[in-house]
């Protein structure tokens, strides 16, 4: 059997993406005076942002941060891709899982290798190869589940290599939600899934952000735990945007993702 290539994060071209306005976010959650300046910045970004285009153009509208937070977000590209493949396979659609890994451009290992070296991180190449082999070889649910668990553990093991601050960790969660919103905008139009891979990628980013927020909420750091709880509150109900990974229909109004992204940034700034 020919070894499938380990998939890389897509390079992102700077271009603004519309976020929720301050008024829209105020409906979702009250804010105090310290948040007004952040809300003003988000409102200005929304007023000047261009509309998202289908496919890659949606994600291309997202400008990522630099440093440890960007490293965590890049890890999220891989995590999201592997979450999608595992969900498809374990949901009984091996062909769709294999196709997603073949079509995805979010997880080519060579693209994250420089960052892994910069932070002297252990990496996860062996675990990724084992996971890809389990899916592409159709080795069965037990093998995929075991390889997937090992891979998620290995990816998580790289996070602290960058010594991210609390702000870095929440900023990365914000970026992942922002990417989820952009992908949804690129893949779904008027409630119809026009580009399935963009729709699936949106779920992968959302689920990675939600899982990370849940981990923070369950942790021992009081400030991070509260931040995680606050992010989860903003994400509550977002799962309804994804009836199934192979669904042909989505939501005609996915604005909760953009609202959640805006609030996740505010929550991160509270920790700065």
| Structural domain boundaries in the chain | 22-269
Quote the DSSP letter at residue 14. -
Given a contact cutoff of 8 angstroms between Cβ atoms, the answer to whether 101 and 81 are in contact is yes
How far is Cα 185 from Cα 165, in angstroms, rounded to an integer?
Answer: 30
- According to the model, what pLDDT value does residue 64 have? 86
**249 C-beta neighbours (distance < 10 Å), count:** 13
Distance CA 19, CA 227 (A): 20
> pTM surpassing 0.85?
no
Q: Check if the beta carbon of residue 170 is closer than 8 Å to that of residue 272.
A: no
Helices (H) and strands (E) in the chain, counts: 12, 2
Tell me the three state secondary structure of residue 12: coil
Write down the pLDDT at residue 9.
Answer: 33
Say if strands 192-193 and 188-189 run parallel, antiparallel, or are unpaired.
antiparallel
What is the pLDDT at residue 255? 97
Split the chain (272 residues) into runs of 10 and give each run's mean pLDDT.
39 31 36 38 37 46 89 97 98 97 91 96 97 98 98 98 98 98 96 97 98 97 97 98 97 97 98 94
């Amino acid at each position: 059997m020919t070894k499938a290539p380990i998939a890389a994060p897509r390079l992102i071209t700077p271009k603004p993406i519309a976020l929720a306005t301050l008024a829209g976010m105020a409906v979702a959650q009250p804010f105090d005076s310290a948040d007004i300046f952040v809300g003003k910045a988000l409102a200005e970004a929304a007023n000047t942002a261009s509309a998202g285009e289908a496919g890659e153009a949606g994600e291309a509208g997202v400008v990522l941060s630099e440093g440890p937070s960007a490293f965590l977000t890049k890890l999220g590209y891989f995590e999201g891709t592997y979450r999608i493949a595992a969900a498809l396979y374990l949901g009984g659609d091996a062909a769709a899982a294999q196709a997603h890994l073949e079509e995805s451009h979010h997880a080519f290992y060579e693209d994250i290798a420089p960052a892994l070296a910069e932070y002297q991180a252990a990496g996860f190449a062996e675990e990724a190869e084992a996971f890809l082999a389990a899916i592409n070889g159709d080795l069965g649910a037990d093998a995929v589940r075991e390889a997937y668990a090992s891979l998620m553990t290995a990816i998580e093991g790289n996070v602290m290599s960058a010594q991210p601050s609390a702000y870095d960790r929440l900023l990365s969660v914000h970026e992942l939600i922002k990417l989820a919103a952009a992908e949804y905008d690129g893949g779904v139009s008027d409630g119809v899934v026009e580009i399935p891979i963009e729709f699936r990628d949106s779920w992968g980013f959302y689920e990675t952000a939600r899982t990370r927020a849940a981990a923070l909420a369950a942790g021992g750091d009081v400030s991070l735990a509260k931040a995680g709880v606050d992010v989860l509150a903003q994400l509550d109900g977002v799962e309804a945007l994804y009836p199934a990974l192979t669904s042909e229909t989505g939501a005609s109004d996915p604005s909760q993702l953009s609202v959640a992204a805006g609030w996740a940034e505010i929550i991160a700034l509270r920790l700065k």
